[in-house]
């Protein structure tokens, strides 16, 4: 299913492009909204995924769309100077993006993100501080959205999703990691004051409105009851444990790394990484 020929792909890409173009036209380049991207209890996979963004890429996001004032991985400042930028942003209008769950055991000490004026700042402190003041909060990735691997059994750090930790509206952009187009597209929707249409789990319908199964290129095998018996075979992987029928994302048409490929395209069953309950209730990832 090539993105240049499929009308569904073309339509989705056009919608995304028009949202981003509209956002750019609406932004006063001298007054871009600030954005804090906070890495809490995470593998940092979502910021890495963002760096892989294409069309638009991360440079476009940073130059044209937002003013990223704080990010644990990308900023030039270190130590107290870095955390001061986080604190300074709290007195402005800003978007808070959190990747990673919130480790809550021992007042969050399982996830220390800074030391400032002799005080230890945990991810839990930072999410609470910024979560209170942010104009919008995006939980990016499955840990921030649902707890994900960070909160998986036996969850020694007593981690929680940002959605459960904060007592306010949080837009979920799940995935392990989240596709960069889901993130940039959601930010663009916010920027045009056209808050994305959300489903009942607070996910943008534009990206999470269909299941992987709905548009899977192996769907005709499923419909005819022809199933792969082992990995590497070209047929439907339902009987190998594929979670595509219960996982809502547009992976089959959006794909990854500039639309190069995606798990099912590489003969791996969907493991439901964007779903509530991942990974505990999605295991075993492959069944025979």
Binding site for ligand SF4 (CB under 6 A): 212-213, 216, 218-219, 222, 236-238, 242, 244-245, 264, 270
Q: Is 246 left (phi over 0), alpha (psi -120 to 50) or beta?
A: alpha
165 vs 238 by CB, closer to ligand SF4? 238
Rounded least distance, CB 285 to ligand SF4, Å = 13
Tokens of 174: 């799940």
Rounded least distance, CB 43 to ligand SF4, Å = 25
Nearest to 281 by CA among 237, 243, 249, 250: 243
Rounded least distance, CB 284 to ligand SF4, Å = 15
Rounded least distance, CB 218 to ligand SF4, Å = 4
Nearest to 139 by CA among 277, 271, 38: 38
Residues 6+ apart with CB under 8 A from 83: 113, 114, 116, 121
Q: Check if the beta carbon of residue 170 is closer than 8 Å to that of residue 135.
A: no
90 vs 271 by CB, closer to ligand SF4? 271
Identify the sign of the CA torsion 262, 264, 268, 269. Answer: positive
Rounded Cα distance between 56 and 32, Å, is 17
Rounded Cα distance between 256 and 117, Å, is 42
56 vs 269 by CB, closer to ligand SF4? 269
Rounded least distance, CB 219 to ligand SF4, Å = 4
* Rounded alpha-carbon distances, angstroms, from residue 166 to 157, 190, 248: 17, 19, 24
Rounded Cα distance between 96 and 78, Å, is 20
Rounded least distance, CB 214 to ligand SF4, Å = 8
* Other CB atoms within 10 A of residue 235 CB: 17
57 vs 233 by CB, closer to ligand SF4? 233
12 vs 243 by CB, closer to ligand SF4? 243
* Residue sitting closest to ligand SF4 (CB): 244
Alpha helical stretches, state H, the chain: 7-26, 45-51, 58-60, 79-89, 123-133, 142-146, 162-165, 180-191, 205-208, 212-215, 219-224, 251-254
90 vs 274 by CB, closer to ligand SF4? 274
57 vs 214 by CB, closer to ligand SF4? 214
Rounded least distance, CB 7 to ligand SF4, Å = 20
68 vs 212 by CB, closer to ligand SF4? 212
User: What phi and psi, each to the nearest 5 degrees, are found at residue 119?
Assistant: -105, 140
Rounded least distance, CB 5 to ligand SF4, Å = 19
């Amino acid at each position: 299913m090539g993105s240049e020929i499929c009308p569904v792909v073309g339509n989705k890409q056009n919608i995304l492009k028009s949202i981003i173009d509209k956002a750019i036209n609406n932004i006063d380049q001298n007054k871009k909204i600030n954005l804090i991207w906070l890495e809490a209890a995470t593998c940092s996979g979502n910021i890495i995924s963002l760096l892989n963004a294409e069309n638009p890429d991360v440079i476009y996001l940073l130059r044209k769309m937002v003013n990223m004032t704080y990010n644990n991985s990308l900023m030039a400042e270190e130590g107290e100077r870095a955390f001061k930028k986080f604190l300074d942003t709290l007195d402005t209008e800003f978007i808070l993006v959190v990747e990673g769950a919130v480790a809550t055991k021992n007042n969050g000490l399982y996830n220390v993100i800074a030391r400032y004026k002799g005080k230890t700042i945990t991810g839990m402190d930072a999410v609470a501080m910024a979560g209170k003041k942010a104009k919008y909060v995006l939980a990016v990735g499955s840990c921030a959205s649902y707890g994900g691997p960070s909160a998986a059994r036996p969850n020694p750090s007593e981690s929680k999703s940002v959605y459960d930790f904060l007592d306010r509206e949080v837009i979920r952009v799940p995935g392990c990691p989240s596709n960069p187009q889901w993130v940039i597209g959601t930010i663009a929707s916010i920027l045009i004051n056209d808050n994305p249409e959300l489903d009942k789990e607070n996910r943008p319908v534009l990206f999470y409105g269909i299941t992987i199964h709905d548009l899977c290129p192996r769907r005709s095998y499923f419909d005819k009851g022809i199933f792969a018996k082992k990995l590497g075979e070209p047929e439907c992987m339902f009987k190998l444990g594929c979670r595509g029928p219960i996982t809502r994302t547009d992976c089959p048409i959006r794909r990854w790394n500039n639309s190069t490929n995606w798990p099912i395209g590489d003969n791996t069953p969907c493991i439901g990484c964007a779903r509530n309950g991942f990974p505990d209730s999605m295991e075993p990832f492959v069944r025979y």
